[in-house]
Structure 1
Amino acid sequence: MNETIPVRKGEELDPILLEEHLRSQFKEIPTGHLTIRQFGTGASNLTYTLNIGEWEAVLRRPPLGPVAPKAHDMDREYQVLKALNPLFPLAPKPLLYEDNKEITGAPFFLMERRHGTVIDTEFPEDFEITGEDCENLSEIMVDTLVDLHNVSYKGTRLEEISKPDGFMQRQVEGWIERYYRAKTDEINEIGRLTDWMEKHLPSKNEPTVIHYDYKLNNALFTKNLTKMTGLFDWEMATVGDPLADLGAAMSYWMEKDDPELLIYGMGKPTVTIRPEFYTRVQFIDRYAKKSGRDTSNIHYYLTFAYFKLAVICQQIYYRYKMGQTKDARFAKFGAFAETLIKHSLTIAQKG
């Protein structure tokens, strides 16, 4: 599976300026010219592969145009990786942070390049998938999340840059504010949903390191799909409620019996709709057994997770509608945000 694409129009980097800066920072770079490609997945930060001879790295920078306050903080993601990589090796090692906007047009950081297979909407053409493979991938995803939540973060930089006290209240209030800042169209259900979330805040859970964007296509696997080789997109990582992380993961984990608009809202669905993959109930049950945590209130976290995902889509759609990005993928994000909000309210009412 080809995980990179030629750089999209309008998202190009200056190869001459960037190569000159790289050579000033990394003396081990060999002779040759800089080659830049882009990761095609992802709809938020822009992520590129950089190659000069055998030297390689990954560059991340914020999306084009204005961004929400405190969002897309490259320095913070760099600091998270710097603290987390020695404790949780699946997090890539960061190499460099730069606040110089003249090089790429925005602050950016570099991290090591990891290699492996990305699983998203399909499996590699040369891989004959079995039900056992699907079950094994499900277990890897659960067990890795449990391992992350067991990381001992106290006394590290992670503790310094996080605020676990009052985490869920700040999350709910903050994401509601983000929604209204990016609002474009009227959605009737939004008032009832936000009222419910504010009135039913769960009691505090013991905080852990959380990824907060944990999903299949943010991971790399060995060619035979038996082991995870890397976990990426740590922009939203922090120390907070582990069940919020589990809920966010489940909002991306589609099932074949989900509403059609939910499955196809962003195009082709993820491979988890295959019946051999864990259901969300099975995923949550295994997590509860492995972690020892009480997941009886998971419907609240799943409600909030779908709302949070709706806001992310709405923010992206807002940038598209305002002409801040021309990526055609984003034209349908407004309709998908509405679908997610309606689905979120349904989960709250069934809870």
Structure 2
Amino acid sequence: MKNLDQASEVRKGEELDQEKLKQYFKNNVTELSEILEIKQFAGGYSNLTYLIKTPQKEYVLRKAPAGAAAIKGGHNMKREFGILDALKNANFKQIPTPIHFCEDESIVGSEFYIMEKVVGSILRTSQLKNIKDELSENRMHNLSIELCKAQAELHKIDIFASKLDQLGKPEGYIKRQVNGWHERYLNSKTDEVQNMESVYEWLSHNIPEEIKPSLIHNDYKYDNVVLNLEKEAILAILDWEMTTIGDPRMDLGTTLSYWAESGDQPFEKNFNLTWLPGNLKRTEYIAEYQKINPIDLKDILFFYVFGLFKNAVIIQQIYARYKKGLTNDPRFEHLNLGVLRLSEKANQSILSKEMK
């Protein structure tokens, strides 16, 4: 089986000071005191993720990108590490083991944390041409079901018995999220996008009643899970930065907003490999989810539209960093077109009253 999640050379402008890291690890994390090599994982548009090779093991370092301090509520490494630690203490198995958190920004330019590397495969759209032979129709069908099952089971965790309820304040979560993401949009706005305001107005006037809160991941998709392809199993769920306690339909809506289908446009297909033959359709994902966690999903359109809106805001935030010269990553140059596309899709879904 091919290694489908290989790290490569560190991008220009995102290098780490290896000697400074070595000295820090020598004083604080002895198992990392000898670094053989540092590489970078290419996936993702948000936090930066590096592979740290030592003589004994491989580890992963997560840090915020340049300019992250200007984004309210984003790129919080301390919180992400704390969530992993809480999940570990709650005996949740499908996570990478957290090792160490560093708040000293002078070491790598921001706060960071270290976790163990889970060996497996991550399905990234950027690697499709290299991995397509591994992704048969039958395998994708089974993997999409496993992904759905794991999300449904995550939402069934007893947050009160595990004390994970302390991660957030679920009362009024939906309204806070709608208003909060609109505020983030305004703070990162670079161009006039009429659909963004229209979608926000619809969301703010159609907030449904909340149901029993659960632990929600908030960025649940293929490229945030480590897979054993041969066994068609999920080894670990990654990227817990936005995890909190709230209405589980918010999490499901975000996942559905990433869930591109074969008829979707190229931009949406960059999000996820769910458009490959064999994957569940969005409506099938909902039906599969309800077999395990039969919550009321009559208002799922609202949560899908919100997911599209939130993704558009995240893209806008990244594009704003590029416009300000805080990153020179060429992938970000035309992300404003993504804001246009997702807000258009959200508006089409509102008008048609179905997930477009």
Fold shared by both chains (TM-score > 0.5): yes
Q: How far apart are residue 220 of structure 1 and its match?
A: 0.9
For 1:350, the aligned partner's letter is S
Task: Please tell me whether the aligned partners of residues 97 and 109 of structure 1 are also in contact (alpha carbons under 8 angstroms).
Answer: yes
The whole-number CA distance in structure 1 between the counterparts of 2:190 and 2:302 is 26
Corresponding residue for 2:319? 317
Change beyond 3 A, Cα 1:338–1:316: same
Output the CA distance in 1 between the equivalents of 2:132 and 2:259: 24
Is residue 80 of structure 2 the alignment partner of residue 74 of structure 1? no
Which region of structure 1 is more displaced relative to structure 2, 8-17 or 341-350?
Answer: 341-350
1:22 and 2:28 matched: no
CA distance in 2, matches of 1:129, 1:160: 39
Partner amino acid for 1:65?
A: G
State the Cα RMSD in Å: 1.8
Aligned to 2:152: 146
Q: Structure 1 residues 123, 149: closer, same or farther in 2, change over 3 A?
A: farther
Matched position secondary structure for 2:106: helix
Q: CA deviation at 1:29?
A: 4.5
Q: 1:242 aligns with which of 245, 248, 263?
A: 248
Counterpart residue identity of residue 87, structure 1: N
Choose the corresponding residue for 2:123, options 111, 115, 119.
Answer: 119
Distance 1:2 1:28, change over 3 A: closer
Structure 2 distance, partners of 1:277, 1:161, is: 33
**1:164 aligned onto 2:170:** yes
Q: Is 1:307 the equivalent of 2:309?
A: yes
2:111 aligned residue (100, 107, 111): 107
Partner of 1:63: 65
Distance in 2 separating the partners of 1:188 and 1:70: 25
CA separation in 2, counterparts of 1:92 and 1:230? 6
SS of corresponding position for 2:101 = strand
For the residues of structure 2 that align with 1:29 and 1:42, how far apart are their CA atoms?
25
Secondary structure, counterpart of 2:335 in structure 1: helix
Change (3 A) 1:274 1:309: same
Deviates more, 1:57-66 or 1:315-324: 57-66
What secondary structure, in the 3-state scheme, does the structure 2 residue paired with 1:53 have? coil
The residue type paired with residue 315 of structure 2 is: C
Distance 1:29 1:273, change over 3 A: closer
| 2:119 paired with 1:91 | no
1:213 has 2:202 as partner: no
Q: How does 1:119-138 map to 2 (within 5 A)?
A: 119-121=123-125, 122=128, 125=131, 127-138=133-144
- Superposition deviation, residue 185 in structure 1: 0.6
1:46 maps to what in 2?
Answer: 48
Deviations 1:16-35 (A, max 9, x none): 010111122233457x5431
Cα 1:200–1:229, aligned 2, differ >3 Å: closer, same or farther?
A: same
For 1:160 and 1:74, the matched residues in 2 are separated by 18
**Shift in Å, 1:73:** 0.8
Give SS of 1:78's match: helix
Aligned to 2:268: 263
Identity, % of aligned positions: 34
Q: Which moved more, 1:82-91 or 1:283-292?
A: 82-91
Letter in 1 for 2:295: R
- Give the TM-score normalised by structure 2: 0.93
CA drift at 1:55: 2.8
Match of 1:293 among 292, 295, 307: 295
- How far apart are residue 70 of structure 1 and its match? 1.8
Checking the alignment, whether the CA contact within 8 Å between 2:153 and 2:292 is kept in structure 1 is no
